[in-house]
Structure 1
């Protein structure tokens, strides 16, 4: 008997178990067999470089102009329209809501939409018809009337406008007839104090108002001032300053 300890199963610890070769001299199989090699040339996989080239057809592309954006880039279209003298900003918003504004040929209907400062802006024929229907009234305002919003105890100058107060040359047959609708939306393009008299322009057309009182207006305004007594030194300079 051997003193070497044995593991369960009959194997001796620390030794290798070797299978005995058969007597006929054939090799012992380990349980796994490889298929025999085939005669002939070795089998190779086709290379990608050897594959014939395939024609690919590019999908056609169409140049589409960038539409007006409602994001934070660009300038509001209503502001661009007012700056270009197309209409007032209030009128621009009204035209946009009605679908009468086109930016680079595309209709714009959303308020607040922005566009490139160099974009082409056009109006629909309906907008031009609307503008042609607007009136501008020239009034020789007397003392005692305010130009715009009435002050307590006084009346606005627009109450002086009526059929009976029209200049007789404007009542000819070929002249447009006065209508109460002409008084709607009239706004003074400039201001005369209650104690002043002279030309007051009342208009429904934002383009005219901008030309007369806009920030970039080049229309000069002249005032004749009468004073009683003697002007102080530098008084005329103060009056010229406004």
Structure 2
């Protein structure tokens, strides 16, 4: 535990915050495209994992495999967000409240957004803590097999994002309709579910002793952020835009589980 705190505070947290500040600078350069914060979140996990990986050594194939899986998750999600959100100029309605409230007060808006980037950095510091155990421990074949299933979850998270994007790009969909294609027919947030499964898999695969159970803090905090912040905010906006149609969709569809 002491080693985790020491490495985390001296190396990982500063690395994450530097990355968040760099992405905030990019946010300003690209004329306040708020979706960059989501890319920053993803890349900051790779920064944290890379620091843990280099601290414990990257000479073995196992260590490279672990870092490769993390890089795959980052490249898939960050690439999707960069192309479909930033390159296409998508404006996220979740951040509209900030821009509307401080529409004429640019400095205050910038301070609020900057604080959001920094706060997110601290969240990443916690949610990436399972990576400490992942790179510290040498895994047995059974644990490596468990870790390997993360490829499955990464694929299905990507599939959920792809299905939703296809729906959004469709020119024949009814106005104000709700995506109920593929995985979205069974779950209101399948992409979040599979993302949570990725990090749960990483945490479980990393446990070799009872002290390593601290790795579970990562998916638990991630679930709390999803269930307590991301989902309620998204669904309030959907309810406002779609009304009774979205309420009916919620009554017939699980929040997370795609079954």
- Bigger CA radius of gyration: 1
Q: Which has the larger helix fraction?
A: 2
Q: TM-score range by the shorter chain?
A: under 0.3
Q: TM-score, normalised by structure 2?
A: 0.20
Q: TM-score, normalised by structure 1?
A: 0.21
Higher RCO (Cα < 8 Å, 6 or more apart): 2
